[in-house]
Amino acid sequence: MSALVAVINAGSSSLKFSLHAGEEVLLSGQVDGLGTRPASRARDAAGRPIPGPGLGDDPPATAGEAMRLLTPWLAARLGGRPVAAYGHRVVHGGARHAGPERVTPGLLEELEALVPLAPLHEPHNLAPIRALMADGVPQVACFDTAFHRTVPEEEQLFALPAEFAARGIRRYGFHGLSYEYIASRLPEIAPRLAAGRVIVAHLGSGASLCALRGGRSVATTMGFSALDGLPMGTRCGELDAGVVLHLIAREGMSPAEVQDLLYRRSGLLGLSGLSSDVRDLLATDAPAARLALAVFAHRTARAVGALAATLGGLDGLVFTAGIGENAAPVRAAIMARCAWLGLDWDAAANAAHGPCLSRPGSRVEAHVVPTDENRMIARHTRAALGL
């Protein structure tokens, strides 16, 4: 009987979880609305709704508090069968951690020191780990940055004095667990691409691109933080650093106000003035919504061109994550702008969400491949602990 691995993906307002026995997903769910109006939901192995963790009279406000409610709920669902290990998504592993690692007090201390590099993600990732430390169940930290440790140095470095790189100010890249999962699927889905030059577009509320050569990351659009690169739901993406200086020096904004602007009030929300959700923007004819989607498609296609130059050509383009998997008009707008690369795409296939979007004979293949970060975390956890 396969050991049970619980996967925890904690954010600022939600705690997502799933339970795995080998490659089988036994259940999944989340507690969201943390700090505002918490609610829980879950599904069984067949995808049917089941009652989620009870939130009690004093609902959780943080991921750590939600974790304390999740563990007894899991125990009750399992009827005494123990969870053998917990696997966690941790956004930032810094320059030292190139793969999943078993959590120790020393590792947790190292990760705490990385909080300034990912202030809006790392504290929430670490809270459930701390909440579980006293239980004695093995835990494994799986880093979103680790997959990009294969990126060459010239891609990692900013044009700053060398002392800053030595202090950790360099490009790291994120969404690595998603990209690693897609790379693991390519040999089965598109064998020609598995050994070739591929750009994966992880397009969701957080969005980035990754250039793969032979399944290994060689460049990505996110850099020092998860703020860089493409416009996102509420994040601005790539921005002239002079704008930040101007906002502080001339507009009188504090660093905290600039952080709030760039992380929470920009991106599709800021451009449209309506919503950060692509579904909402596609459902309206408001000119600002049309413009926001056009900016998103333009910037994504521009980044595809830049990464294709880094790869020395392009064999395939893969769309994944919420927007990439489900928003056909957004994919169409991006692919239309990438035709010059040799991408001959099929409008009917795109409307049906693929899985193959390109016509036979297209020099560049295009595919939709659903991502599964939790499955990747479960695999890493089993491998790290020999389960």
- Which strand (E) or helix (H) includes residue 5? strand 4-10
Q: pLDDT at position 56, please?
A: 80
Find the angle CA(363)-CA(364)-CA(368) to the nearest 5 degrees.
145
Q: The whole model's pTM is what?
A: 0.93
Q: pLDDT at position 19, please?
A: 96
Count of beta carbons in the 10 Å neighbourhood of residue 53: 26
Structure tokens at 326: 């489900």
Structure tokens at 64: 């750590």
Full strand arrangement of the beta sheet holding 49-50: 49-50, 39-44, 24-32, 14-21, 4-10, 83-90, 139-143, 101-102
* Own/partner long-range contacts of 191-195 (Cβ < 8 Å, ≥24 apart): 192/315, 192/316, 192/365, 193/315, 193/316, 193/318, 193/365, 193/367
Q: pLDDT at position 61, please?
A: 87
121, 92 Cβ separation under 8 angstroms: yes
Q: At what angle do helices 105-112 and 122-132 cross, to 10 degrees?
A: 160
> Could you give the 3-state DSSP secondary structure of residue 269?
helix
Listing DSSP states for 274-313 in one string gives S-S-HHHHHT---HHHHHHHHHHHHHHHHHHHHHHHHHTS
Q: pLDDT at position 200, please?
A: 98
Rounded to whole angstroms, the Cα distance separating 36 from 29 reads: 19
Structure tokens at 161: 């004095």
Q: pLDDT at position 282, please?
A: 98
Shortest CA distance to 24 belongs to which of 385, 382, 384, 386?
Answer: 382
Q: pLDDT at position 58, please?
A: 83
Q: Which domains does the chain have, with CATH numbers?
A: 4-143 (3.30.420.40), 191-373 (3.30.420.40)
Q: How far is CA 353 from CA 277, 345, 367, in A?
A: 19, 12, 9
Alpha carbon dihedral 314, 318, 322, 327, in 10-degree steps, equals 80
Q: pLDDT at position 36, please?
A: 79
- Which strand (E) or helix (H) includes residue 126? helix 122-132
Full strand arrangement of the beta sheet holding 216-220: 216-220, 207-213, 197-203, 316-320, 365-368
Please list the active-site residues.
144
Residue by residue, pLDDT tens for the chain (387 residues) are 789 999 999 887 788 999 999 999 999 999 988 877 888 999 999 999 999 998 887 888 888 888 989 999 999 998 889 999 999 999 999 888 889 999 999 999 999 998 888 887 899 999 999 999 988 999 999 999 999 999 999 999 999 999 999 998 999 999 999 999 999 999 999 999 999 999 999 999 999 999 999 999 999 999 999 999 999 999 999 999 999 999 999 999 999 999 999 999 999 999 999 999 999 999 999 999 999 999 999 999 999 999 999 999 999 999 999 999 999 999 999 999 999 999 999 999 999 999 999 999 999 999 999 999 999 999 999 999 998
